[in-house]
Structure 1
Amino acid sequence: MKKKVTKLLVPSMAALIALAAAGCGENAEVESSLEKAITERPVIVRFHTDSPSKLRKRLQLAGHDVSGSSKRLGFVDVVSRPDELDSLAARAKGRYESFERLAIPKVDARYTDTQEMSDFVDSVVAAHPDIAARVTLVDASSMFECHELYAVKISDNVSVDENEPAFLFECQLHAREVMTGEVCKDAIDFLTSNYGTDPQVTSWVDNAEIWIIPQANPDGVAYVFSGNDWWRTNRHKSCGCTETCTVCGVDQNRNFEWNWRQCPGYGTSCGDETYSGDSAASEPETQAIKGLMERVRPLYYIDYHSYGEYIVWPSACGRVDEHDLLRIAAELLNHSVETDDGQTGHWTIGNTVDVMYSAPGGSDDHAYGAAGAMAYTIELNSTGFHPDYAQWRDVTVQRQRAAWGLLLDRTINGPSIRGRVLDADTLQ
C-alpha cells in the first residue's frame, strides 16, 4: 500500500501566494525574443591577486557578476560575456598579477534538478510521515515558471506547532550554485534516516523544529538544468525585459526587506545580475521565505551559497551591535568544519562587508534584523559553482553536517532565552 505524503500549506502564507506578479507560464511569451540576445556563452575570468577582497568589492560595486573568490587561493572570478571584457579589464587594471579565462562547465546531470528534488522530498515524507512534512510556501500556479517553492519541516509531532526552538536553513537561492542544494538534500536524508537510531539526531528532531528549504529559487534551478548553467536570479521576466536583455530576473538575495537598498551593492535595472526588484520583497519567493522566517523565528539560520570558503554574518551594510556575539559561533564553525583542502581553521570569516562586499537586501540580514536569528552565510567550495560531482559532492555534504549540526546543537543546548510570544487578547 502506498504511503500518504504529508503535504502542508503554511496558514500564514496563504495570502502571500496571491501576490505573485505573474501567472505560471506567462514567461513563455517573452522567452523566444530573450533567447535571441544570448548569442555567446559567457566565460569565467579569473584574476590572480594577493588582495581578493579589495578587487572583489571593486568589481562587484561596478556591477560585474562576481561569482566567487578565495582569500586562501588568491583569486577573484567574474562571469563575463564578450561585450563586457573591456570594461572588466579597465576596472581590474593594476589590481591583479595575472588572469585567465575559464570555460563555465556544463552542470553535471548527477546534481539534483528541480523535479528530482521534489520527488526526493516526497519519497522522504512518505517514508517518515511522523517526523517529516512538505510545506508549500508558494504554489506552482503562482510561480513564474510553474515550480512550487516548498520547505521541509522535520520534528517529532511534525503536524503540530510545538513550543520548541526553530532552526532554519536554505539552499540554492542563487540558481547556479548547485552544490548547495546537495547540502540541503543530504541534511533531509541524514536527519530522517538516522532518527531513532542515532541518539544525537533523535535529540535534535525531538527537541527542535527544523526547517529546510532545499531549492529556494526553483524556477531558476530548472532553468540552469535546461542548459543555462550560469543563471543566478529568479525568472521574473515581466520587469521590463527587452530583446537586448541577457539577464532577466530578480536577485532574491538583494530583495529582502531588511536593509533593502540601504547601501551600495545592488542593481537598479532589470538586466543587472544583482537587480534588487522594483520594491522590497517584491518577489513571491522572497515574500514566502520572509514570512516563514518571521513566523517560526529561528534561533539559528544558514543561507548556503558558493563559492570561496567564507563564513560571514550580518549586516551586509556594516557591523551590528551583536558583531562579537555572532563571531563566536563563526569561530566554532571555522575550527570544526574542513575546507576543500581537508583542514579546519581555513575559512575566511567576518562581517559580510569586511571580508566580501556590501550586499543589501540579503536573506541572512532579514533573518537577523526582522526575525531575530543568529544568521550566517556559508560559501562552499573553492573550485566554482559547478564543482566536479564525483570529486566533491559526497565529501562536501559530509563536511557540512558538522556545520549545520553544530548550530542545530546550539539551538537546543546553547545559551538562549526561551519563551513564546502570545497575543495579549487571544493568548494565541
Structure 2
Amino acid sequence: MFTKRRTWTGLVAAVGLAVLATATSVPAGAQTGDQAAAPARGIYSVQADKAQRNAIEAGGVDVLGQRGGATEFVATPQQLDELRAAGIAPTQIGDLDKQLAERNSRNGGKAAAKADEFPAGDEAYHTYDEVNAELEKAATDHPDLAAVSSIGKSVEGRDLNMIKISDNAGTDEDEPEVLFNCNQHAREHLTTEMCMRVVSRLTDGYETDAKVKEMVDGKEIWVVPMVNPDGAMYDIEGGEYKMWRKNRDGEGTDLNRNWDYKWGCCDGSDTDPGGETYRGTAGFSAPETKALSDFVLSRNVNGAQQIKAHIDFHTYSELVLWPFGHTDETVTEDMTQEEYDRFETIGKEMAGTNDYTPMQSSGLYITDGDSNGWMWGSQKILSYTFEMYPGQGGVDGFYPPASVIEEQTSRNDAAVDILIQNAA
C-alpha cells in the first residue's frame, strides 16, 4: 500500500496527469504490463516530465535512475496496478530477480571466496574490513598527513570510520575544511571506491603532485567512505548482490531521507517502513545520519562552521546536483539568488570536467530530508550530490564490473579539486 501523504490518484490529479505513455523504444524482449504477467519485482521505464516524475517517486516505488527524461524504477504487481489505475503506463524492461541472478552468476557462476566478500570477479571492491585496513594503512604510511577516527556506531555496532587528511593531521588548524562521504545507500558500492580514490590520491600523491600538496597544505579534508556499512555488507552477504538500499534498522531507513532539514515536509519521502524511501520515525532517528551530522556540528566553532564544502557520492545517472530537493524554487528563506548562482556556477564547472549533467536536485523529483538540504539549510555548507556512473542500467547500474573502478573514480579527480579549491 502507498502510505505517503497523498495517494497516487491525488498526486496524478494534482499535476494534471491523465496518462503517462512511454516515449522510449521498447528494448528487444521487453513487454508492456498488458502483454505479460508482472514479475514479483519488475523493472520499468517511462518517459516523463518533472511533474510526472514527482508523481512516480511519490508512489513508493524504487526509483533506480534518470536519463534523458526516462525514469527507471522497480515496482511490485500491486504497485504496478496502482500505477495503471492512476493512468500511468510504464514499459517493462526487465525482471529484477532474474537480472540479479544473472549478475550474480557472472564469471561462470563461480561463488565468492567467502560469504562476506563481493561476488567472484568483483573482488576489487572494498568490503567494510578492507576499507578500514586501507584507512589505517594510509595513516601508517603518512602519519603527518592522515589520522583515522570513528564518528559513531551503526545500527549493528560497526564503527563509522573517517580519515582526516591535512599537512598537520594531528592538529586542529584554522583552515577551511572539506567533507566527502559515500555509501549512504547500501547497494552503491562504486561510491565507496570514489572515497577511497580521494584518500589514496591526497595521501600517496602528496610528495609528487604539486596540486595535491597545495590542497592538502591549505585545507583539512575529511572522508567517510561507508556511512551505511551494515547495509553495504548485507547487500553482498553470501557473496550475492541483493539490491538493498537502506540501513538495517528493522525494515530499514533510507538514510538520505532522514536528515533533519525539511524532514517529511513535501511528499519527498515515504512513511511506510517497507518503502524504499522510508524516512524513519524522526529526523536523525538513524544512528548513521545522527553520527555524521553530530560530527559536522562539532566543526561549528564559536558559531562559525569550519566545513565549507561537501560532496555526497551516489550512483547512478551521472549527475551533479545541488540544493534544494524539497522545492522547485531557487530562492527560499534559506537560499538567496546570489547563493543559488554560486551553487549553479560551481556545479556546472565540476560537471564540465566529468561530463555529468548539472541541475538543482528537485529537477529530478521532489525529495525531503536529504543530506544536501541539511548541509546548506542548517550549516551553510556548499553541498553537492554526485550521481556517478553509469548513465542508466537497471541492476547493472548499481553493480558495474570492478574493471570500471579506476576509470570512473579518476573521472571525478578534477571535480573534486574544484570543490576543494572553492572551500573558502
- TM-score band by shorter chain is 0.7 to 0.9
Q: Is the 8 A contact 1:313 1:352 kept in 2?
A: yes
Q: Partner of 1:300 in structure 2? A: 309
Query: CA, structure 1 residues 121+337, in 2 after alignment: closer, same or farther (shift >3 Å)?
Result: same
Q: Residues 187-266 of structure 1: matches in 2 within 5 Å?
A: 187-226=198-237, 227-237=240-250, 248-266=251-269
Name the TM-score, length of structure 2 as normaliser.
0.76
* CA–CA distance in structure 2, aligned partners of residues 177 and 127 of structure 1: 28
Query: CA, structure 1 residues 357+198, in 2 after alignment: closer, same or farther (shift >3 Å)?
Result: same
Range that drifts further, 76-85 or 206-215: 76-85
Q: Partner of 2:346 in structure 1? A: 329
- Please tell me whether residue 56 in structure 1 is matched to residue 59 in structure 2: no
Task: Give the 3-state SS of the residue equivalent to 2:198 in structure 1.
Answer: helix
1:380 is matched with which residue: 378, 388, 402?
388
* CA–CA distance in structure 2, aligned partners of residues 390 and 167 of structure 1: 28
Corresponding letter in the other structure for 2:150: T
* CA–CA distance in structure 1, aligned partners of residues 86 and 409 of structure 2: 36
Q: Is the 8 A contact 1:48 1:99 kept in 2?
A: no
Q: Is the 8 A contact 1:155 1:205 kept in 2?
A: yes
Corresponding letter in the other structure for 1:232: R
Q: Is the 8 A contact 1:67 1:79 kept in 2?
A: yes
Q: Partner of 1:45 in structure 2? A: 43
Task: Give the 3-state SS of the residue equivalent to 2:412 in structure 1.
Answer: helix
- Please tell me whether residue 123 in structure 1 is matched to residue 121 in structure 2: no
* CA–CA distance in structure 2, aligned partners of residues 383 and 221 of structure 1: 21
Name the TM-score, length of structure 1 as normaliser.
0.76
Q: Partner of 1:24 in structure 2? A: none
Corresponding letter in the other structure for 1:327: E
Q: Partner of 1:245 in structure 2? A: none
Q: Partner of 1:100 in structure 2? A: 93
Deviation at 1:258, TM superposition (A): 1.4
Q: Partner of 1:162 in structure 2? A: 173
Task: Give the 3-state SS of the residue equivalent to 1:357 in structure 2.
Answer: coil
- Please tell me whether residue 398 in structure 1 is matched to residue 395 in structure 2: no
Q: Partner of 2:75 in structure 1? A: 80
Q: Partner of 1:342 in structure 2? A: none
Range that drifts further, 213-222 or 385-394: 385-394
Q: Is the 8 A contact 2:353 2:412 kept in 1?
A: no
Q: Is the 8 A contact 1:316 1:365 kept in 2?
A: yes
Query: CA, structure 1 residues 91+220, in 2 after alignment: closer, same or farther (shift >3 Å)?
Result: farther
Q: Is the 8 A contact 1:172 1:304 kept in 2?
A: yes
Corresponding letter in the other structure for 1:323: Y
Corresponding letter in the other structure for 2:247: N
Corresponding letter in the other structure for 2:284: A
Query: CA, structure 1 residues 145+82, in 2 after alignment: closer, same or farther (shift >3 Å)?
Result: farther
Query: CA, structure 1 residues 42+181, in 2 after alignment: closer, same or farther (shift >3 Å)?
Result: farther
Deviation at 1:388, TM superposition (A): 2.7
Query: CA, structure 1 residues 175+207, in 2 after alignment: closer, same or farther (shift >3 Å)?
Result: same
* CA–CA distance in structure 2, aligned partners of residues 337 and 259 of structure 1: 30
Kindly, what percent of the aligned residue pairs are identical?
30
Task: Give the unaligned 5+ runs of structure 1.
Answer: 1-39, 238-247, 339-346, 417-428
Q: Is the 8 A contact 1:46 1:75 kept in 2?
A: no
Deviation at 1:361, TM superposition (A): 0.9
Q: Is the 8 A contact 1:171 1:184 kept in 2?
A: yes
Query: CA, structure 1 residues 300+92, in 2 after alignment: closer, same or farther (shift >3 Å)?
Result: farther
Q: Is the 8 A contact 1:145 1:235 kept in 2?
A: yes
Root mean square deviation of aligned Cα:
2.2
Corresponding letter in the other structure for 2:411: R
Q: Is the 8 A contact 2:41 2:74 kept in 1?
A: yes
* CA–CA distance in structure 2, aligned partners of residues 130 and 362 of structure 1: 34
Range that drifts further, 104-113 or 268-277: 104-113
Task: Give the 3-state SS of the residue equivalent to 2:263 in structure 1.
Answer: coil
Range that drifts further, 106-115 or 273-282: 106-115
Q: Partner of 1:285 in structure 2? A: 288
Deviation at 1:363, TM superposition (A): 0.8
Task: Give the 3-state SS of the residue equivalent to 2:326 in structure 1.
Answer: coil
Query: CA, structure 1 residues 391+313, in 2 after alignment: closer, same or farther (shift >3 Å)?
Result: same
Corresponding letter in the other structure for 1:115: D
Task: Give the unaligned 5+ runs of structure 2.
Answer: 1-37, 105-117, 300-304
* CA–CA distance in structure 2, aligned partners of residues 348 and 56 of structure 1: 17
Q: Residues 337-348 of structure 1: matches in 2 within 5 Å?
A: 337-338=354-355, 347-348=356-357
1:146 is matched with which residue: 157, 170, 175?
157
* CA–CA distance in structure 2, aligned partners of residues 206 and 41 of structure 1: 55
Deviation at 1:83, TM superposition (A): 4.7
* CA–CA distance in structure 2, aligned partners of residues 132 and 189 of structure 1: 11
Query: CA, structure 1 residues 265+186, in 2 after alignment: closer, same or farther (shift >3 Å)?
Result: same
Task: Give the 3-state SS of the residue equivalent to 1:250 in structure 2.
Answer: coil
* CA–CA distance in structure 2, aligned partners of residues 225 and 270 of structure 1: 22
